[in-house]
Structure 1
Amino acid sequence: MGGSSEICQRTQLELALAEERRILEARNLTPPTQDRQASYKEDLPSEIARLRKGSTHYRHIHLTRQWALFLRSAAVSAITAWYDPPQPGKGALIALGFVVTLVTAAAGYIKPRERAFNLQQTADNIEQHAIALELGIAPYTLDGESNLVLFATTVEGLRAEQREREQQLDQPHQNQRGVV
């Protein structure tokens, strides 16, 4: 019995030592902060492109839904004005009216226009800071390492604001005012 306990303790010790060696090796493989910040700056064009692509995507969704809504609303009015529809015509009016209602509800729920605006605004702000860093203009008039720290902090703040705005869009609208 004592041998089994000793083997278990030895195995646990070896496991703990292996974990310590892994942590030390990882620490040695981690590049210095300044290198990571410079790499972060170099990766930003792809982040800006991703934000702009998302903005374009949501703008297209918004425009497509708006045009679908316009055309179907006009079709309901046109069919109704054209003639007093017999049974198949009434079915078409009901179907078109249903689609108009569905598109309107989806546009209000998904809010593609707001998402497109938020993504574009974040991309523009990040790009503005990247250009200011490249040109060494305010707020990036310090030495190189301090500029990279300020830049990374600012960009991460912008990205956090973007995530917060996305979360707010996902939340149901709640009336902040009391009932009168």
Structure 2
Amino acid sequence: DCDSHGNGNCGFFFCVRANHISVRDSRFTGNRTGISIGTRDCYNLIENCTVDGNAGAGILVRSSPRPVEVHSCHVRGCTIAGNAATGGKGQIEIVTDAHDLIFEDNTVRGREGGGACKPGFFIEDTARDIHLQNNDVDGCGQEVEAAAQSLALAAPVIECGYESGTDTIYRHLPS
């Protein structure tokens, strides 16, 4: 439950090696980029968030080449709309060697002055096993711009978010 508005950079920035994090019921509006995921950021869940009116991509999977690529993240039930007005390649932009990402049950909207000529999903051809399921995309230049080899018909089997972590990964935190 956070509300991040008007930041000169990202509304939410997954820093290096941010793993097993759940971001739920939050709003990221009017920032340079809505949510940014990058180097070694894995097993994260973004759920029921609103990502709206950001200058760049609503969700950006940053450039992070193998072996430190983003993988095993799940974005579901979010509204991603009116982003990429002055930067970014789409409402959701995956520009990396990312793999095993799931985007499910999201509402993705472009609008005049907010990415209407850009795709809902822009996925570079270096990405692999990106699974798109039951997303409602409208008002974008095209729903998905991706090479066939970047997309996965079946969802990868992954467990994401805080609840999926084992006790040992939290041992440095106070009980």
User: What TM-score range do you get, normalising by the shorter chain?
Assistant: under 0.3
TM-score, normalised relative to structure 2: 0.19
TM-score, reference length from structure 1:
0.18
Asked which structure has the greater RCO (Cα within 8 Å, sep 6+), the reply is 1
Between structure 1 and structure 2, the one with the greater Rg is: 1
Structure having the higher helix fraction is 1
